[in-house]
Amino acid sequence: MQTVETISALRALVARARSEQKKVALVPTMGNLHDGHIALIHCARQRADFVVASIFVNPLQFGANEDLANYPRTPDADREKLVNAGCDVLFAPAVEQIYPDGMLNQAIVNVPQVSEGLCGSARPGHFDGMATVVIKLLNIVQPDVAVFGEKDYQQLAVVRSMVKGLNMLTDIVGAPTIRAADGLALSSRNGYLSEQQRRIAPVLYASLKEMAASIRELHRVDESLLQACRQRMIDAGVNVDYFEIRNAQDLAPAREGAAHLVLLVAARIGTTRLIDNLTVDLR
């Protein structure tokens, strides 16, 4: 695996791969890689001959009171994991490489509707920053395929909407959420949890499963159970940001009779904010 830090060096490697008729895949990450990230690399490898992973902790998507300075950075371990996963290139640029004119002078990408509400309400500006860096990475690499995790469901929906709306040719692939044995979705933020908080965290997925099973059985949303699941999390010591049911395609509020739904939860355990989701397909 080659590691490059500049756009010109990355483009040269991608151009060489294309001259060899190779299909190119991109896996954007912010590093501190775990098994969920590595599953994205494997997913990309199944769909392409040349896999590029990026590691860039994007300051543009962090709010004023968020954890940019303390975001975990593990470059040596990340590189070893990527090598073992069969990644071809690691793109690890400095902030100045991605934002050469500074972030205040950076054109910002806004994806309306799908970026609003849910985490968009709790983290103002987050999805604008995320969409901006993703479109920059897509333009730099121009991959045939880009792979994102379904755990960040709203992020995936924003990227898909952006790519469709801007007539881009990259195929956006969502890879299934990877979970610990007790159901907790793997996340870099899990490392912030104390032992006691980590024991509490699986209540998010348990509540999602309970609600999903009810919807499959009744073919409708039981509002009383929705409230009971929310209360179950609160009673466990979780500060629930949202626990909602949306249309799986566009994240619009779920209407009666909708057949493809997604349950989404965001909550804080101590100071750590976790998200998770579960789709329900009644078709």
Catalytic residues: 37
Coil vs helix vs strand at 33: coil
CB within 8 Å of 60: residues ≥ 6 apart: 99, 103, 106, 128, 129, 130, 132, 133
- Residues 55, 29: contact at Cβ < 8 Å? yes
Rounded CA-CA distance 188/195 in Å is 15
Report how far residue 276's alpha carbon sits from residue 186's, in angstroms, rounded to the nearest whole number. Answer: 10
196 secondary structure, DSSP code: H
Nearest to 133 by CA among 165, 161, 97: 97
Token pair of 218 as six digits? 């009744």
Under a CB-based contact definition with an 8 Å cutoff, are residues 32 and 73 in contact? yes
**By CB neighbour count within 10 A (0-12 exposed, 13-18 middle, 19+ buried), where does 34 fall?**
middle
**52/222 Cα distance (integer angstroms):** 44
